[in-house]
Amino acid sequence: MPRALRDIKGLGEKRLQALESAGIRGLDDLIGFLPIKYNDFTRLKRLSECREGEEAVLRLVLTGKPSQARVNGRTLTRASFCDGAEKIHITWFNQPWMYKTLVNAPEQLVFGRIETRRGVRVLSQPKLVTQIAITPVYKTIPGVPAKQLRDLVGIALEQADIRETLPQTLIGRFALPGRPEALRQAHFPDSTPQLEQALYRLKFEDMLFFMLNALLSKGTEEVGAVIPKNEKALNAFLGSLPYTLTNAQKKTLEEILSDMASPKAMARLVQGDVGSGKTIVAFCAMFVSALAGFQSALMAPTEILAGQHYQSALQLLEPLGVKCALLTGGTPASEKKRIYGQLASGEIKAVFGTHALISKGVEYSNLGLAITDEQHRFGVRQRTALGLKGKSPNVLVMSATPIPRTMALIMYGDLDISVIDELPPGRKPVKTRIVPESKRNSMYNFILEEVRRGRQAYIVCPLVEESEETDAESAIETYRQLAGSPLKNAKLALVHGKMKSEEKDKTLAEFADGKVDVLVSTTVIEVGINVPNASVMVVEDAQRFGLAQLHQLRGRVGRGADEAWCFLMSGETQRLKLLTQTNDGFVIAEKDMELRGPGDIFGTRQSGSALGLNADAIKDTELLYTVHALAKEITASKTPEAIGLKQSAQTWMKDKNEIIFSQN
């Protein structure tokens, strides 16, 4: 009977190494490796019942003969189908066997996302359904086939000792399934209701332990790095800037500096709308930290954004004697070694980078300030891991994702909150228009005119995390169509999430340098790129995005002195119309909640985006409020049960931190 991964029959060394690279070192890790989504193949639909962008299982019959061709080195298999009433066109890429399959079996069950392109309903890369069941889909682990991963999870569920983590009083009070049953149903669901109950239980547990940690840490007066405010030097620094801080920036900076000067370690979130000037406030804090002899680290979600922060620091901080460095996954080994040494010695006072800042080899001499930028792209584990690189450094997290304040107070329960709700003078609002299909050519002509005037444009195709391959193909097809006719006189480039990071970064850098006129992309450009010369943002299938995400995308333009435009390709809806009426991200977030309730504000699945958990702080709003109230109740209680839960929560957080460190 297997007790460890190595004991499982047929699991070779290469597969073991692949699993270990994904953080799976034992049976418990396998059980905790939950699916990223589920394909429900039990519910068949008619085409007439399907909404745009919806995934569905359809029973279709081939109409006519399928076609197959080689295009740019790829096999394209195309066919038309009917469900008895309506028709749909389907394309498969690089599946040459599909032609013979369809000819031999013209009636098929297919699963895919329904889309409309140029007025025609289509499916791209759908799956042929062979089993009527709810099927889990796991995050891909290179080197481990999906079927073997499912089999390994099944073995782990049979052999591991899965213990209950919640007291029976809570399980009964909130009608939760037991943990062993919840994990089994989460991996191999028997029905939709049982799956929903299982996921609710696992989210409940994660949220409760997170909230308990947040409230417990909030109540402790942890002694941090005391960084005194140097008023004279700071005023000289602010005076050297080519602009004056807004009142909102000044207020936020004062709150940060007061926190840093106090004995208690700072734990503060700065929320600021796109373009509100969060970065310069962070630079002021880094400058003050360096003056006091402390180091600071700023972690960004992409190498491009980290590099842009570093370039700004070279202009603003280095001339004042603050030695800066850039550390990312792409930093050459010899350069990394030099930077490691200078961080350990304290020579480097401000370092900018990606997850490389929390890798095992990085040791800081005197880290006094840890900053994460674009907080919604990092889980709580990552920012906690950065904070643990020092002896209780001051922690500052920044987010440009608008979140209603009541929601933010719960999502970031361990943080004080500052809001920069004022745009710098001269920043022009982006003009937003909803563009129907009939006006597409006019919009392309507008883009060409902007290009002739020396400006640049983005064209963004939808990206849905669970169907990344399909959406990458969508961006590729859009790029080919545009290069072939509408925008053939412009210099085009393409980026999407399936590209190698070096290739993607090279293309983004070329766009930033003005070597590319129009960038066709998926939402990889949502954060991490700053191109002041870009004046047009086009979002295809805009109805598939959340309002806050559309607001983020629109924030990629209008960063220079030129007038900027955002075109939403869609029919007019009340929801999208909001974006044409306001540029205030906080108003948009509040309105979105009013319109749709506590739904998917971010638009795409943000699995643990804010919490770093199985739960989603936006989709699971009602659960979040329930658990927050319960956590406050437990924190105030001194019963043996409450004490046990607090201890379990602390063990849970310790395990989470060990996982994030082991993966970096």
Residues of each domain in the chain carrying CATH 2.40.50.140: 50-128
Q: Which of 354, 345, 350, 366 is CA-nearest to residue 287?
A: 350
597 pLDDT band (50/70/90 cuts)? very low
Backbone angles phi, psi at 296, to 5 degrees: -135, 150
DSSP 186-217: HHS-SSHHHHHHHHHHHHHHHHHHHHHHHHHH
Provide the pLDDT for residue 7. Answer: 79
Provide the pLDDT for residue 377.
45
Between 101-105, 466-470, 498-502, the lowest mean confidence (pLDDT) is in 466-470
| In contact, 441 and 118? CB cutoff 8 Å | no
pLDDT of residue 80: 93
Question: Does 475 have pLDDT greater than 50?
Answer: yes
Which pLDDT score, from 0 to 100, does residue 656 have?
A: 65
Q: How far is CA 118 from the centre of its chain?
A: 30
Stretch 494-502: mean pLDDT: 82
Q: Which residues contact 408 (CB under 8 A, 6 or more apart)?
A: 269, 271, 417
Query: What is the per-residue pLDDT across 146-186, written as a single tens digit (0 to 9) for each?
Result: 889 999 999 999 888 899 999 999 999 999 999 999 999 99
* pTM score: 0.61
Q: Which residue has the higher pLDDT, 595 or 557?
A: 557
Superfamily of structural domain 50-128:
Nucleic acid-binding proteins (2.40.50.140)
Least confident of 255-259, 573-577, 586-590: 586-590
Assign domain 231-420 to a CATH class.
alpha beta
- The residues of the chain that CATH labels 3.40.50.300 are 231-420, 431-582+584-596
Task: Determine the pLDDT at residue 382.
Answer: 52
- Higher-pLDDT residue of 427 and 120 is 120
Exposed / middle / buried, residue 130 (Cβ in 10 Å: 0-12, 13-18, 19+): exposed
Q: How confident is the model at residue 611 (pLDDT cuts 50, 70, 90)?
A: very low
pLDDT at 350: 96
pLDDT band at 470 (very low <50, low <70, confident <90, very high): very low
Helix ranges, 362-497 (H): 380-387, 405-411, 440-452, 468-484
- pLDDT for 603 beyond 50: no
**Residue 329 contacts by C-beta under 8 Å, 6 or more apart in sequence?**
303, 354, 355, 356, 501
Compute φ and ψ for 559, nearest 5 degrees: -95, -5
pLDDT of residue 649: 87
For residues 168 and 166, give the distance between their C-alpha atoms in angstroms, rounded to a whole number: 7
Mean pLDDT of the chain: 83
* pLDDT above 90 for 651: no
Instruction: Name which residue leads in pLDDT, 284 or 575.
Output: 284
Q: How many residues are present in the chain?
A: 664
- At residue 660, the pLDDT reads 43
User: Which pLDDT value is given to residue 540?
Assistant: 92
For the stretch 408-461, pLDDT in tens is 666 666 678 888 878 777 677 899 999 998 899 999 999 999 999 999 999 998
Closest CA to 604 of 496, 474, 400, 462: 462
At 534, the pLDDT band (50, 70, 90 cuts) reads very high
pLDDT at residue 195 above 50? Answer: yes
Q: What is the mean pLDDT of residues 14-23?
A: 88
| CB distance 207 to 624 below 8 Å | yes
Q: Which residue has the higher pLDDT, 140 or 664?
A: 140
CATH number of 431-582+584-596: 3.40.50.300
Q: Is the pLDDT assigned to residue 640 strictly greater than 50?
A: yes
Q: Residue 662 has what pLDDT?
A: 47
Q: What is the spatial distance between Cα 318 and Cα 190, in angstroms, rounded to a whole number?
A: 60
Residue 286 predicted with pLDDT over 80: yes
Three-state DSSP class for 223?
strand
